[in-house]
A and B are shown apart, each in its own frame.
Chain A
Amino acid sequence: MQRSQISNLGENVVPEIKFDPELCVTCETIDCLMKCQYVKFAGISDAKAEKSKINAGEESRVLNECLTCYACQEYCPYNNNPFYLLVERQEEKGILPAPKPIIEEQLRMMGPRGRITPQKVRSPVVNMCAFPMLAGCVRGKLFEGASVISGNDMFCNIMWLHFAKNSVIRERVPKMIDNIMSFYLTDSKIDEMVCFHDECYGTYTSVADAFGISVPFKPVHLFDYISGRLDELSDRIKPINTKVAYQRPCSNRLSPETDKMLDDIFRKIGAERVPRKYDRENALCCGGVPRAQQRDELADELVEKNISDMLSTGAKYCVFNCPFCMATLGQEVAEHGLMPILVSDLVLTALGE
């Protein structure tokens, strides 16, 4: 697990994903594939055969059928980065999870703009990633005194895992980290950054570790930050005493330990996280990414399953932490009578803001 392999691809030396094939050889459960909600296997031996093909860099149907939901990263009991490796293999083989022009266009759309200017920031620094339109979420006592940074020049770039583009992650993430440091944190002598999204936290912890990218600041998960603030603001909390259904996003699979922090948050604000069939380890994709893969009928099915599951719980709110999940499901959720809301906004409600 600790060794970092170097493979020689032509003239470019690309550090490979941190991964130990021996662990898979000795693995008896192949949870990474057996627990997959989307690709089906005849049995453990079938899964094992496919997994060894992936590991060896051979053709495997999994490379084509994968929904890119990140869940196998969480399922693997050895933290052996099965998903990152799978994406690596997809790219090596030129497998396109979505049509080429769609990937190319997104690559340009989300590319760095070079429009960043140095700015003095104060702690807590909240990174809104490429979603400046959500900067309004950072308000009230909860985020008192916070500096918000955002824009394409600090985009976490984790989305390329959905599009077989580990190379883009390797190329862009170090630049983004450099931007964050040199334009904001270094001069302000700050070494912590609150990640508003699971995506960013996953990038600067799990992805950075697996890809061998060094992160000079300490990423703080939003849940960690909120939970701490709630302790400080405990006298202001008016328990909301409401049932909430949580839509766990794919990127939380990269930091499963934070899901327990969310439980703490809900407990502190008096929200009851209703047991859902599709929550926690069994969380189901919101349906956004399959549409890029041109699998709209599957996406419709995922939306339908998520919604009917939520409705059966009697929850009043559908809580999101991922803005993309909220954009994908929010309208549908609202049409079915649940109120879509971001975790931070729900907490603000409990704080009377």
Chain B
Amino acid sequence: MIKIEKRNDVPMALYFFTPFIAIILTILGGGIIFYILGFNPIEALKFYFITPISNLYGFSELLLKATPLCLIAIGLSFCFKSNNWNIGAEGQLTFGAIVGGGVALLFYNQEGFYILPLVILAGAIGGMIFALIPAILKTYFNTNEILVSLMLVYVSKLLLDYLVVGPWSNPEGFNFPETRQFSDSSRMPLLFEGLRIHAGIFLALAAVMLSWFILYKTYLGFQIKVSGLSLKTAKYAGFKGKTMILVVFMISGACAGLAGVGEITGPIGQLHRMISPDYGFTAIIVAFLGRLNPFGIIFASLVVALTYLGAETAQIFLQIPKYTGQVFQGMILFFLLASDYLLFFKVKILNLKKNELRH
């Protein structure tokens, strides 16, 4: 008979160490999958995890890919820490990109140092407003935020579809579903010539710093953490639950909106239907892999970004199907959850005699 018991003393060090165990297990699991598929596992793993970042260009692409993941996950950590399950970051990203992109199109062919900050601000506000919808519905009408935020993803994607096909489509673009290329005045400045890494990475780093400050040095952060640990305690302490829910959703939405606006003013340079390969959903894995800790999230976003790049490199050099990237992301989450389970619970195998069962 198997008995599962809660552990009372989980060492903090081990709590932050298990993500590494999950990553190691993922790499081992990946090696086994490659072996079964008929590839040399060592060679495949090398193309997966080392080749993509073996030169400056590759490393810059890793940072480029990690930037939106990091930003969104930082925002999500506020929600998740306080027991608010915002699953719709992808929608907030899309809506932020729509609002920011709208401002960029408004200033098409105009010069001015103020344009880019306006575009970025518009993106953050767009994401924030879109995240407020599930938050308000949750606080005042008791709806389930998981469902509402998830369904709103489709709303924002369809709105984007409508805009790029219809009113915002490029007048010289033969009706192709895309807007004009934004003017340089609303593009993120590139950090190095010839590389795509752009100033958006500073937004991500600022978000990391700010979130660390808010979570660990302010009263709001304290409220968030207490609510996450025990809603009853939070209520007993007299925290205003509704305001806090609204605030964490606003922070989360603003971060996702910034990620969206960073993509369209950075590497993409226009609005079209494919502005995000589901960064908003992948960032959920990033947030948990990073233990909802700001610095952990930086690390986790780099690891998950590498699974995207690795999948491309492995297909180019070894013709390994590109979907292994998703398998890797799934394995990371699986092993993390599994090791968490074993961390928090003891599994005892009891050898019981017949009469003992009667109790």
Q: Do A and B bind each other?
A: no
